[in-house]
Amino acid sequence: MRGGLWQLGQSMTRRLAQADKKTVARRYFSAEAELKKTVLYDFHVANGGKMVPFAGWGMPIQYKDSIMDSTLNCRQNGSLFDVSHMCGLSLKGKDCIPFLEKLVIADVAGLAPGAGTLTVFTNEKGGAIDDSVITKVKDNHIYLVVNAGCRDKDLAHIEEHMKAFKAKGGDVSWHIHDERSLLALQGPLAAPTLQHLTKEDLSKFYFGEFRMLDINGVHCFLTRTGYTGEDGFEISVPSENALDLAKAILEKSEGKIRLTGLGARDSLRLEAGLCLYGNDMEQHVTPVEAGLTWAIGKRRRAEGGFLGAEVILKQLESGPPVRRVGFFSSGPPPRSHSEIQDDKGKGIGEVTSGGFSPCLKKNIAMGYVKSGSHKAGTKVKIVIRGKAYDGVVTKMPFVPTKYYKPS
């Protein structure tokens, strides 16, 4: 299911228009009884959400509007996503930072209290177990969110290393926030809308920062971040208050912010040049190859001390064998696993995510090519259903990001 969300949404829309709806429902929703549901599930259905299985959850792929319209509305006004399938957790204890630094590439100790960053959990070979946004709440408290599809393996990985760390006298414990839901509010109207619901001055709250504060009268964790390239927030709210908060956000926006599904979320993150784990990052791909060198803290480059550091530091020194790059292309939109060739027809890599950009009105894609073929302007061929189409390597993001940073 991963990476094909935009395509799945388009396919479902066509099928629902052409076929008997009960037949289609059986085809796509046959496992519905086994799927986990967020507390907003009935709210999604009542608002026209087309629910599909995703990482073990029933999630909305789109609503009554098209994925194209939803994507454009996020960039022009705003979107509210239910991302409660993702896993929030806290690490606590006086040694929680040195513990986490054994598992991730970030300089966690160097973060200011209330500051966060994107990071990568690595394995012994330097490959990515998952990417995660982590926040140093204070010196003895880390808050992080991991991907839904990686939850089980991530938690097992953390727990295994935590047991060994504690056996040597380390002071660290964890709490998995299954009692909370997670909403992502994205787009130019995100901040002015949310400001109606909190007394905190959001104009002094910048990209990557974290606060605990009251929103709509409820104690929430608020991070100024997102997965669209737009300004926005991720709001961790007690699950019993999530529906009221979602309704309040939509009401305060006077209908301009819309409920938005996973299909538009996928096209938005692709336009922003952001990785989808399971497509653009996997266990055999290092952060250097994935273009996330910037996420490796300066101190960590000097000291290492995280899993796979030897491999990663060597790649920093001598360069990686492959690199993640962006593409524009002609012909049909590229899809995951489409072969990338040089201008002589020799295979040099593979597309990992691709589609038609609703904002740019052209094909965009990302994928991995051999080092040396990664520079912007390099002409390539992308093979789709046996036919090679012209493409060109381009810088990412495809659509400029609008993160709220100090001027």
Q: Which parts are annotated binding residues? A: 234
All residues at 6 or more sequence positions from 400 whose CB lies less than 8 Å from its CB, including other chains: 229
Q: Which two tokens stand for residue 301?
A: 């480059």
Could you list the residues known to form a binding site for substrate, using ranges: 234
Q: If we measure between CA atoms, which residue out of 20, 4, 13 comes closest to residue 65?
A: 13
What is the spatial distance between Cα 183 and Cα 16, in angstroms, rounded to a whole number? 28
Q: Return the axis-axis angle of helices 262-271 and 5-18, rounded to nearest 10°.
A: 140
Give the DSSP letter of residue 79. E
Distances (CA, A) of 340 to 10, 321, 388, 391: 25, 16, 9, 9
Q: Which two tokens stand for residue 216?
A: 């709509």
What is the spatial distance between Cα 366 and Cα 195, in angstroms, rounded to a whole number? 36
Q: Which two tokens stand for residue 136?
A: 């140093």
User: What single string gives the DSSP state of each residue in 90-136?
Assistant: EEESTTHHHHHHTTBSS-STTSPTTEEEEEEEE-TTS-EEEEEEEEE
Q: Which two tokens stand for residue 122?
A: 């690595």
Q: Strand, coil or helix: what is 80?
A: strand
* Burial degree of 153 (CB within 10 A; 0-12, 13-18, 19+): middle
User: What single string gives the DSSP state of each residue in 370-385?
Assistant: ETTS-STT-EEEEEET
Cβ atoms of 74 and 272 within 8 Å: the answer is no
What is the spatial distance between Cα 326 and Cα 337, in angstroms, rounded to a whole number? 14
Report which secondary-structure segment, H or E, holds 263. Answer: helix 262-271
Q: Strand, coil or helix: what is 171?
A: coil
User: What single string gives the DSSP state of each residue in 18-32?
Assistant: HS-HHHHHHHHHTTG
What is the spatial distance between Cα 51 and Cα 262, in angstroms, rounded to a whole number? 10
What is the spatial distance between Cα 212 and Cα 198, in angstroms, rounded to a whole number? 11
Q: Which two tokens stand for residue 296?
A: 């490796």
